[in-house]
Structure 1
Amino acid sequence: MSGYGQQQQQEVAQAKGIRPPGPLRLEHAHLIEALELRAKGLSRLADALNQTKTSKDSSSAGTLLAQQAELLVASDVDWDFFFKDPTTEALQSQGITGVAVPDSNFLSNPDLASTRSLVSIWERLHGASTGGTPSGNHGDALVSVRAMPQGITLSTSQPTTIRASTDLAFEVTVEDSGCCQEVGVVVTVTIPEQPKPLILRQTINLINPGEQKTLTFKVTGQPPFGPKTDVKVLVAPVPGEAKTDNNSATYPVFFSIG
């Protein structure tokens, strides 16, 4: 974690070395401020993790971590409202087009910085470091897979004909079927291309009990046309998960042209 903080500090130094045009000096100052908040937030998180590494109180540890993570949330607000939006408006007022002001969200979901989320993360880190197993009924389940843009739900019992196109993608829906919040859930789609399989992988950053999340996997390669093939989808088991028979499925399909 401290290494990420040092890397962020290098980005601060790089940003300070840029000379912005006069009308954008204030916005550039806010960009630097946002980067500094991220560097400080990561550094303080590293310190908090070190302080709580021998603690037995997950609630207090999560609270301490959340207090530091507030800086990361603030950095995203600073970037959007005091750099990105006013910079976009300034360029438009000057009649400047074709310049995309960069967007940057350090946290894909602000809830990742909540006490609840960080208690769960701390418990995982604490359990991993001590060789323990997370308590509670942990688990995720594969709910459905749809072929897009047709919108066809794949079946495990009978083949589905899928029209191949440049927009071909698979929508995979996953549900947190356990009692606990899960983080870093890896989902993999495998298509047995020739000469080697096409493997698509994404991660669900955070999912709450009973919540469903859908990932879209765009097929960038050419699928195998003609004979029946099997599309395999796997939701990687999370720590403490005992029931894994609903984590994966194999879908027979035919890929057709047009």
Structure 2
Amino acid sequence: MSTHDDGTELEFFEEPATLEAPGRPRRRIRPPRGGGPRRPAPPPPGAVALARLAGLVALAIAVVIGLVFWVGSCQGQSRHDEYASYMNDVRPIAQSSAASLRDYQRQVTNPKLTLADLESKLGLWSRQQQEDYDAALRLVPPAPLQAAHQQVLATLQLRAIGLANLANILTQAGSKSTDQVANELTKQAQLLSASDLVWAELFKLPATDTLKRLGVIGVSAPPSQIVTNPELITPHSFGEVYGGLRSTTGTGNGNGNVSGLHGSVLQSTEAVSGGQSKTLTVSTPTNVREAADLAFKVTFQNAGDFPERGVPVTLTVSLFAKKVYTKTETVPSIDTKETTTVTFSNLQLPPSTFSSQATVDVVVGKVPGEVKLDNNKASYPVFFSLSSNG
């Protein structure tokens, strides 16, 4: 048996490692959790970004809408303030301008007024209208009211011209008749009526429509009416005023040089109670029932040839020569030969007057130029008794 001692070792060829075919990695199967629902898979990263972008867009839109409403609200408030400020500036002008004829009405019932006084006051009222015009001219109305504001100026111009013309007519009356002067005054006074129409129809109405159209709430165009009593500017009324003033000349105190016949005549005095009327007499005591509605009615006539103004009528109740009630009422004006009645009510007589004879004295006050005074007063004996109704 031979042996190889060459030291050579036998070498074996190793087989290469077997390569498995490439494939998808195996998913690791996790055992299900006990009992609970399966957890939803998270959204992909792109969906989250898209949702965030949509939220930002929605927020931006909300901010823009809020800004739009805020700006609109600010604009609405600014518009309201602009119109309110303008109307607040117009209002005192409207009131001042409308007051002139009310002042005229008060003045013509003043028995101390003279023709020169009235001429002067008409001129003064005309200048006041001009001052109101200047004040209105300085105002800056909102653009949509520019046209209406021009009618404010037109109104004030008409009034200034009308009052100035009335003063001029009185100044230039001269020897004209009362009727002629009264007709001229009435014609010029139509400018005052026209001014009321201009204000109402060409300023107030369009301004009100503009405020409604623009949605301006809580702001109104003020009224301004100078002729509140149309009777004041009729030929009859002007004739009464001018005729009365014309009969008095000179001193200006209401008791100056007076021409013609002037005076009043007391015609009757009645006691009215419980719907029944009794005429008092100067010779026989009259039984008068005291009640809450007891009133005395005094009737007198202007027996003169001229209208009279500011005629006082006084009623006095006396008990044993002591006055327990006295009151004076004033008749603003009374035309020639006109009859008027003055009522005295709410007497509130003291209990001491009941079941005792009292005296009711009535006096129609003296007017300038009146000479005969015995027919404008009377004293009436009366018995006051409580009403059967308590």
TM-score between the two structures when normalised by the length of structure 2 = 0.43
Q: 2:348: which partner in 1? A: 221
Instruction: From the superposition, tell whether residues 61 and 147 of structure 1 become closer, same or farther in structure 2 (CA, over 3 Å).
Output: same
Q: Note the C-alpha offset of 1:167.
A: 0.6
Q: Can you list the C-alpha shifts for 1:147-202, whole angstroms capped at 9, x where unaligned? A: 01321000111111111111110111111112222222111111237986422222
Normalized per residue, the structure richer in strand is: 1
Q: Note the C-alpha offset of 1:203.
A: 2.0
Two-structure CA RMSD over aligned residues (Å): 4.3
Contact 2:297 2:344 (8 Å CA) reproduced? yes
What is the aligned counterpart of 1:235 among 360, 364, 368? 364
Give the gaps of 5 or more residues in structure 1: 13-31, 83-103
Amino acid at match of 2:301: E
Instruction: From the superposition, tell whether residues 64 and 235 of structure 1 become closer, same or farther in structure 2 (CA, over 3 Å).
Output: same
Q: 1:192: which partner in 2? A: 318
Q: Give the number of the structure whose alpha-carbon radius of gyration is greater.
A: 2
Contact 1:69 1:113 (8 Å CA) reproduced? no
1:9-158 mapped onto 2 (5 Å cutoff) = 44=164, 47-48=167-168, 51=171, 56-57=174-175, 59=177, 65-67=185-187, 69-70=189-190, 74=193, 105-106=228-229, 114-124=237-247, 126-129=249-252, 132-149=256-273, 150-158=276-284
- Separation in structure 2 between the aligned mates of residue 112 and residue 246 of structure 1, nearest angstrom: 31
Percent of counterpart pairs with the same letter? 32
Normalized per residue, the structure richer in helix is: 2
Instruction: From the superposition, tell whether residues 178 and 254 of structure 1 become closer, same or farther in structure 2 (CA, over 3 Å).
Output: same
Q: Does 192-201 or 159-168 show the bigger shift?
A: 192-201
Count of residues in correspondence between the two structures: 210
Q: 1:248: which partner in 2? A: 377
Q: Which runs of 4+ in 1 moved over 6 A?
A: none
- Separation in structure 2 between the aligned mates of residue 42 and residue 222 of structure 1, nearest angstrom: 50
Tell me which of the two structures has the higher relative contact order, counting C-alpha pairs closer than 8 angstroms and 6 or more residues apart.
1
What is the aligned counterpart of 2:334 among 173, 183, 207? 207
Give the gaps of 5 or more residues in structure 2: 1-120, 133-151, 202-226
Q: Does 190-199 or 143-152 show the bigger shift?
A: 190-199
Query: What secondary structure sits across from 1:222 in the alignment?
Result: coil
TM-score between the two structures when normalised by the length of structure 1 = 0.62
Instruction: From the superposition, tell whether residues 168 and 69 of structure 1 become closer, same or farther in structure 2 (CA, over 3 Å).
Output: farther
Contact 2:307 2:335 (8 Å CA) reproduced? yes
